[in-house]
Homo-oligomer: A and B are copies of this chain.
Amino acid sequence: MDTDDITLKLRDVRAASGLSLSKAAELTGVSKAMLGQIERGESSPTISTLWKIAKGFQLPLSALIGTDALRDTNDGDLFRTVTFPGSIAVKIVFPYDPALGAETFHVDLSPNQRYDSAAHAAGVTEEVFVLDGTLEVLRGGDWVPLQSGQGLRFAADLPHGYRAGDVGATFLNMHHYVPTNGRDLAAGQPAMEPRQ
């Protein structure tokens, strides 16, 4: 999905409305020369003018931008690595997306390695799916044993921890945050600490 699709979208939208460039310019507050250039792909509009156009046509921005571009991530060719406080390295399988409120990590623990996590924000839920080895998850006050191919879902707004077995453990770790409505982004922060 490319950004040129905006040109097609705008052309279709304007054609559907039956408006000329002049009237569209008068309606949106964007000069008709600029509208023409955008439609021809000769200019990459700023979001400010994109917003003017969407407002003039009384349309959401999604009507101008390709829907695939709004949600498809880049092909997961290479994973970025992030380090949690506690010095375990995890790989990002699916990065945090505010629209989903979810992120997925790929974690690898050496034999008998343990990692404890403090309580996250209220409402945060974690899921664990063991890919290889054996793992124990501290949920509430109990260590829940998991084998390869097994999963566990638990509330992460309590202290919890992970402990690998004698052969180590590899598992996926999904974080689900509470849906952030609008601007209260501070409430649904992902759990990745600023660390390198």
* Docked CA distance A96–B125 (Å): 13
The residue that A99 contacts in the complex, of B67, B94, B154, with Cβ under 8 A, is B67
Does chain B have a CB within 8 A of A37?
no
* Docked CA distance A70–B38 (Å): 19
* Docked CA distance A6–B98 (Å): 12
The residue that A97 contacts in the complex, of B59, B76, B152, B182, with Cβ under 8 A, is B59
* Chain B contacts for A48, CB-based, 8 A: 3, 44, 191-192, 194
Interface residue count on the A side (C-beta < 8 Å): 92
Interface flags for A151-171 (1: CB within 8 Å of B; 0: not) read 111110110000000000000
Q: Is the CB of A72 within 8 A of B140?
A: yes
Q: Is the CB of A55 within 8 A of B191?
A: yes
* Docked CA distance A176–B82 (Å): 19
* Docked CA distance A101–B55 (Å): 19
* Docked CA distance A193–B93 (Å): 28
* Docked CA distance A82–B18 (Å): 8
* Docked CA distance A28–B21 (Å): 34
Given contacts A17-B82, A47-B47, contact A98 B12 (CB under 8 A): yes
* Docked CA distance A60–B157 (Å): 18
* Chain B contacts for A57, CB-based, 8 A: 95
Interface flags for A61-81 (1: CB within 8 Å of B; 0: not) read 111011111111111100010
* Docked CA distance A12–B147 (Å): 36
User: Given A68-B182, A70-B70, A76-B150, 9 more contacts at CB 8 Å?
Assistant: A12-B98, A17-B95, A48-B191, A55-B190, A57-B95, A58-B76, A68-B158, A94-B153, A181-B183
Interface residues, chain A, CB within 8 Å of chain B?
1, 3, 5-6, 8-9, 12-13, 15-18, 44-52, 54-55, 57-63, 65-76, 80, 82, 92-102, 104, 106, 123, 125, 127, 129, 131, 139-140, 144, 146, 149-155, 157-158, 172, 174, 176, 179, 181-183, 185, 188-196
